Amino acid sequence: MAYEVVTDLRHTKWLRNARDIMTWANPGPGAQRGLNRIYERELNKTIKKPQLNFEMKVLLDCSPEYLQGHMIPLEMRDIEHCLCEFDKYERTRLGEGRPRAKYKVNK
């Protein structure tokens, strides 16, 4: 919960200019599994946080190649969040679980 508060404060005068937004994020369980999927490791393999941050930074550094001109530049927190969403998507796609919420199309 504290990390989410700090993430929200990132958009205030107190943390707007934080020096680590491009170099650090707190990788939660979903982001860890997402990285394990990308690096073809066992899903629940424990990796130390400095290594996870290094791997997220690699993704952040290559993101402009794919996203430039389509959206504003990403920060490390965005990479962490995307990895979590990627893990949810893959769990559903591969039949490893079901999403908590279902998307309903309004017609």
In sequence order, which ranges of the chain are alpha helices (DSSP H)?
Answer: 2-9, 29-38, 49-67, 76-93
Q: Give residue 91's pLDDT band: very low, low, confident or very high (50, 70, 90).
A: very high
pLDDT at residue 34, rounded to an integer = 98
Q: What is the pLDDT of residues 55-79, one digit of tens each?
A: 999 999 999 999 988 999 999 999 9
Checking if the pLDDT of 47 tops 90, the result is: yes
| pTM (predicted TM-score) | 0.85
What would the two tokens of residue 77 be?
A: 């927190």
Domain boundaries, the chain: 19-93
